[in-house]
Amino acid sequence: MSSEWDETCLVCCTKTKNRCSKCAEAGIDLFFCSPDHQKLVWNVHKRVCGPGKSNPFLWPLLSDDELPEMLAHMNETTGYLVGCEPECNTVAKALQHDFALPPDSVTLLITSCAQSAHPNASDPGSLAVQLVVATIRALEFARTGQTVVDLDLAQFIPLSSSYPWNAASVWDVNEAHDPSTAGLEQGTEPWRTKLRHYSLAYNTVLAIVYADERTELARSFGKHLQRIVDSIRTSVAPSNPTLATKLLERMELSDGVADVIRSCLRSS
């Protein structure tokens, strides 16, 4: 198992042998170079850490911060999500469309995604819940103007309380579905677990750099992206070359975003 995972710190990407012990119990190798770096992202990582959470990676249900935000904005127009119907430009419309819901049950569905328990991979209903929470978070990301297509840094600053969850979810909803199949795939394949952890780590570090101006961490952006690219090449490409190509094109875009951020930090 360990050879499949990068032996690099989830935060700063330096080589290390120090694994998260709880995630190791769950059968995956996630590395932190120091207790300092593990603590830095603990508020985020703890929600997908250890047996029953880490492997397979299942999106945690909405937090107490996220739920009111999602309900308050569910009828506001969002940006366009690639792979979704263009008319599904609000959270409410997307949920009605994707799950064939009557309008008056949208609030109930969103509220039902805010329980405290973690989704259970062995529960057949949990994959549907996964798609709901990932869709809600992705549309919230789009609504707040945080699209990676727009390289305007001002629009990329995390605005939502659910960042980096929504930023990582947009990757799933927009990019990580197989273009050769009709539906959006939200499965529990090992490559998906790996890319979700790496994508979440990258977006968490982005948020930390903005909040605390820890510019030394900004230097790790390129390594974060390279780690994701490497895992696409080794874990996705052999079995699904079409999807791998699509994901790699997305990573070029992310590299452009990281470049803009780095240059802005240099000039400030």
CB nearer Zn ion, residue 51 or residue 183? 51
Site string for Zn ion, 47-66 (x = CB under 5 A): --x-----------------
Q: Which of 5, 8, 9, 67 binds Zn ion (CB under 5 A)?
A: 9
Q: Residue 200 interacts with Zn ion (CB under 5 A)?
A: no
Q: Residue 201 interacts with Zn ion (CB under 5 A)?
A: no
* Strand partners of residue 8: 15
Q: Residue 20 interacts with Zn ion (CB under 5 A)?
A: yes
Q: Residue 28 interacts with Zn ion (CB under 5 A)?
A: no
How near is the Cβ of 16 to Zn ion at its closest, in Å? 7
How near is the Cβ of 256 to Zn ion at its closest, in Å? 25
CB nearer Zn ion, residue 38 or residue 144? 38
* Strand partners of residue 15: 8
Q: Which of 28, 31, 33, 170 binds Zn ion (CB under 5 A)?
A: 33
Quick one: angle between helices 126-143 and 91-99, nearest 10? 150
Judged by the rule CB under 5 A, the positions of this chain that interact with Zn ion are 9, 11-12, 20, 22-23, 33, 37, 49
